Amino acid sequence: MKNILIEQIKKDPIAMGAIASTHNKDIAALVLAAGKGSRMKSSKPKVMHKLAGLPLISHVIDSVSCLNPKEIYAIIAPDMEKTVGEQIKPHGHIFQREQMGTGHAVMQAKSALQNFKGTVLIMLGDVPLIDPRTIASFLNVMNKEENTVQLLTFEAKDPTGYGRVFTNMDASVSNIIEHKDCSKDQLSQKRVWSGIMAVDGEQLFPLLNLMTNDNAQGEYYLTQIVELANASDLRVGFMDCDEDEVQGVNTKANLAQLEARLQDRLRSYHLENGVTMIAPETVTFSMDTTVGPDTVIEPNVVFCPKVEIAKNCFIRAFSHLEECRVGEDSEIGPFARLRPGTKLDGKNVIGNFVEIKGSEVGTGSKIKHLSYVGNAEVGDHVNLGAGTITCNYNGYEKYKTVFEDGVLTGVNTVCIAPVSLGAFSMTGAGSVITKDVEAGSLAIARSEQTNKEGWADRFHADNQHKKKAKKAS
């Protein structure tokens, strides 16, 4: 799935030039993703929950990919192979068979990186909003200061629960002290570690081999690497970043907070690229939504993944679009639903309470009211009247309906597929079309009307008499 925010960075020669020049060593990235995420209250792996239609881990990998690393590996649990492992292809994955802490997770990459002499970048699969330019700057500081270990830190608005990062006079990191172990004075420190780290590849595993699990949880923590590096006279550096970039996802509430933040970024992107939104805060985009300039979007529109909107379109309120393409100068909605496989060639009008799925609609064609069009081929300048329905499914297979150029259907026309309506043919209102209609013909398929003279008068008189008799009794 395309990530338009990352694509924007990749198209910016200044940004990419800065990224390319920040680090002079090869990079291997490890994305820690084996955590179960029990607080999410979900059977789905935490890193597979989505922001703007894209799994958390894919956001992280997209950002890291901008740095052109030699390798990207996700550290996952074995039962995640069919979900996370498939999602991150073509990148590799490494199993952490037992959940024994972050340090233990990184140790699982020892075999894969045994001959790697560059920088190992350790990322978190549940920290999705990190900007690749921030990662590049982070590695640049590491390179300039000749640090063996580099921590990405931030000044927390509320550092409660975070381990505090303490520094020396030379701006190197002396240690990380867990919140519960901090003195009263130490608790005033607001600089904390984000969980993102970079380590010289030749020093990483020798340091990890020195780790112990002498703690209440019996786990191996990456935080210990700071103490071990200092004990070996290896410099540990840090760089502060914006707290919003490194907020993690542990609960559905966190997920909702980050979704709101990301949607704001996406709205800004589209506004800056010539899209008009009447109430931007009500419009929901996916990471790959493309919208052409001079398109107007009314409130409460949802763009699911794989939606392309051309220029000069009008998307009216409460429309829902998914895996579809809308050609230029088209009008959609209000209350329209475009489902997967819908392709509008342009200058189309798709009106209120119209649903289209798996269909191509030609230039200038209109479907304005209360219709379902599925598995259909609609030619140019076709007008499907209110209540036109294609019956495309018999419970086992789906069949195609073809409306050739210039077809006009009357109100409440039902087309039983497979069926074809020839060019410039018409149907009478209320017709059920079961046979092909020749070009230029009028098809009428309804029972003949019969008027029974005086029947209604007799009906009312009889029932009024019964009503009076019932009251009298």
Enzyme catalytic residues: 369
- Interhelix angle for 13-20 vs 132-145, to 10°? 30
CA distance 266 to 87: 23
The torsion of the CA quartet 231, 233, 234, 237, rounded to 10 degrees, works out to 80
CA distance 71 to 79: 22
The torsion of the CA quartet 79, 82, 84, 90, rounded to 10 degrees, works out to 130
| CA distances for 37 relative to 47, 57, 194, 195, 252, angstroms | 8, 13, 18, 16, 10
CA distance 290 to 228: 48
CA distance 317 to 302: 9
247 token code pair: 């907020």
Q: Which of 381, 369, 392 is nearest to 423 (CA)?
A: 381
**Partners of 420 in the beta sheet?**
402
CA distance 308 to 291: 6
DSSP three-state, residue 119: strand
Peptide bond into 334 cis (omega under 30): yes
**Partners of 50 in the beta sheet?**
55
Q: Which of 259, 241, 137, 157 is nearest to 195 (CA)?
A: 241
Q: SS3 breakdown of the chain: % helix, strand, coil, rounded to 5?
A: 25, 30, 45
**Partners of 367 in the beta sheet?**
350, 384
> Under 8 Å CB-to-CB from 242, ≥6 apart: which residues?
134, 154
DSSP character string of 367-385:
EEEEEEEESEEE-TT-EEP
CA distance 46 to 374: 35
